[in-house]
Amino acid sequence: MQDTFRHMGLRMALVEQLCKKGISDERVLAAIGAVPRHFFLDSAFAEHAYQDKAFAIGEGQTISQPYTVAFQTQLLQIQPGDKVLEIGTGSGYQSAILCHLGAKVFSIERKRKLFLQAKKVLAHLGMKPAILFGDGSIGLPSQAPFQAIIVTAAAPAVPQVLIDQLAEGGRLVIPVGSLKQQQMLRITKKDGKPLTETFDFFAFVPLIGKFGWQ
């Protein structure tokens, strides 16, 4: 698969679109402009990769809309060197954005086919996040604490185990609500306690696992 000047131009147009929608973090916009999203989609969708839309990636999962990826990433406030846990690798696109921002990424995926595919694409891009197969809803206690945790699936409630795995000052970004609609939350650990901020409403595929939708 190639990344052509045409693809680069389409990415720049996407970045402009995201700016107009309120994404203001220059580093996040630069990452969206740099990472070839078409690598993470089936070739049948490649022509549409830079539309601000979600697409099916198989296994009942989707690659999130670029605006959603940018919105969640902006809330995370990633700094180079941050240890970041991603719950729900999916296509691997969000992992690639986090890697581009200089994060040390650990990502968990419960669908084996997606787990294997994401590892392959990220390796092709020369990125080396730790992609793990398992139940992301329980987090990754063996690697805690994390400066940031991002959940890319809809949770019925905020798993306490994830708050426990945050470093002091760490941020958890997670969509919480019903299966139809969720509100984006950012939970910051301050003096050992969770401080919750609420943001826009979104629609994600469900988080499946011990602390998700069973």
Give the start-to-end residue ranges of the domains of the chain: 5-202
- 137 as an active site residue: the answer is no
pLDDT in tens, 133-162: 999 999 999 999 999 999 999 999 999 999
- Indicate if the alpha-carbon torsion angle 59, 65, 66, 71 is positive or negative: negative
SS3 3: coil
Instruction: Note the residue count of the chain.
Output: 214
pLDDT per residue over 23-34, tens digit each? 999 999 999 999
pLDDT of residue 80: 97
Give the pLDDT confidence score for residue 44 in this predicted structure: 75
Tell me the whole-structure pTM to 2 decimals.
0.95
Rounded-to-integer distance, Cα 194 and Cα 190, Å: 6
Q: What was the pLDDT predicted at 35?
A: 97
The phi and psi torsions of 176 (rounded to 5 degrees) equal -125, 135
> pLDDT at position 47, please?
75
Read off the DSSP letter of residue 205. P
Q: What is the mean pLDDT of the chain?
A: 95
Please tell me the CATH code under which domain 5-202 is placed. Answer: 3.40.50.150
Query: Are 79 and 49 in contact, with CB atoms under 8 Å apart?
Result: no
> How far is it, in rounded angstroms, from Cα 73 to Cα 71?
6
Residue from 26, 24, 160, 140 nearest 84 by CA: 140
Catalytic residue among 24, 43, 64, 178: 64
Alpha helix segments (H runs only) across 2-85: 5-20, 26-34, 66-76
Residue 31 pLDDT: 98
**What is the distance between the alpha carbons of residues 35 and 33, in angstroms, rounded to a whole number?**
6
User: What angle, 0 to 180 degrees and rounded to 10, lies between the N-to-C axes of helices 93-100 and 66-76?
Assistant: 40
Strand pairing category for 146-151 and 130-133: unpaired
Q: How do residues 80-129 score in pLDDT, each as one tens digit?
A: 999 999 999 999 999 999 999 999 999 999 999 999 999 999 999 999 99
> What six digits make up the tokens of 70?
């940018």
User: 37-70, pLDDT tens digit by residue?
Assistant: 999 998 777 778 999 999 888 888 888 999 999 9
Residue 1 has pLDDT above 80, yes or no: no
Question: Which residue type is seen at 71?
Answer: F
> In this predicted structure, what is the pLDDT of residue 62?
83
Strands (E), the chain: 55-58, 61-63, 83-87, 104-109, 130-133, 146-151, 166-177, 182-190, 193-202
pLDDT (0 to 100) of residue 57: 85
H or E element: which one contains 97?
A: helix 93-100
CB 91 within 8 A of CB 35: no
